[in-house]
Amino acid sequence: MTTPAIPDHAELILPAPAKLNLMLHILGRRADGYHLLQTLFQFLDYGDELGFALRQDGEIRLHTGVPGVPHDSNLIVRAARRLQEASATRLGADIWLDKRLPMGGGIGGGSSDAATTLLGLDHLWQTHLGEERLAELGLALGADVPVFVRGRAAFAEGVGEQLQPVELAEPWFLVAIPQVNVSTAEVFAAPELTRDTPAITVRSLPEGGGHNDCQPVVEKRYPEVRNALKTLNKFVDAKMTGTGACVFGSFPNQADADKVSRQLPDTLPSFIARGCNRSPLHRKLETVTRK
């Protein structure tokens, strides 16, 4: 019998949902090396789960870490400590992580965990910093953290921090997980990366998103991703999310996604999830707050 990742005595259990980049255009590069981009974020009703319990001694203890990631380097711990510092609280927390999302998958696992930690502990500690301040704290942890903090599907610009909420269709997605960890830093440093895609407006967004400028780079360097795209493309228009490695296709209903999922090889794990314009994290927090 296996021990559950989150124990019964956790006081607050919250989802850390995955996201997809339905498009990712690279417009240029700033003097500091960061890339200017435009992207379209949508959440999925699938992801990690975190449990929290209050500590009075100010300690932050993550009891279920990620292999290869030191405790103090984990984004969950860093987010908790940032919130402690910003709020001047003397409280601490025990934290447990039920990890389902792959690292280096381009579906926001670490960033989503950090955002759930910020929002969860803001609620548990009653620090009341507010969404704007929490998003600022999140940006210092990663460019994708603010969209998870705000919890609305968004068209993003700048380095990903300028967010404009959008209403998108909410199809079912089949997300395939090539068994490789793609380095975001390597992709953005690649000399062959397109960095001059013309800017678009939110009104000119093509239905379903658009292309991903990082995809050709990743396909060239990671045969696992290239092969996954070829496999999925036999059934549906497949795209890569973020800087990879996960690839996805959209379907009008769950049954169609299930049918394709059953035809994928055993060497290519996958999951099926519904697209969400409102984050499952925020929906859960609303029910907690009302109690």
Question: What are the C-alpha distances in Å from 16 to residues 153, 173, 186, 291?
Answer: 15, 17, 26, 21
103 annotated among ligand-binding-site residues? yes
112 annotated among ligand-binding-site residues? yes
Cα separation of 69 and 91, whole Å? 24
Q: SS3 of 245, please? A: coil
92 annotated among ligand-binding-site residues? no
111 annotated among ligand-binding-site residues? yes
Residue 118 C-beta-side C-alpha neighbours within 13 Å: 35
270 annotated among ligand-binding-site residues? no
Structure tokens at 140: 């210092």
1 annotated among ligand-binding-site residues? no
Question: What are the C-alpha distances in Å from 208 to residues 9, 125, 279?
Answer: 42, 39, 18
- Is 234 marked active-site? no
Number of CB atoms found within 10 A of residue 264's CB: 17
Q: Active site residue: 45, 94, 122, 144, which one?
A: 144
Helices 131-139 and 109-124 cross at an angle (nearest 10°) of 140
Q: Active site residue: 19, 99, 239, 284, which one?
A: 19
The sign one gets for the Cα dihedral 179, 181, 184, 190 is negative
Which residues sit in the known binding site? 102-112
Which residues sit in the known binding site for ATP? 102-112
Q: Which residues carry out catalysis?
A: 19, 144
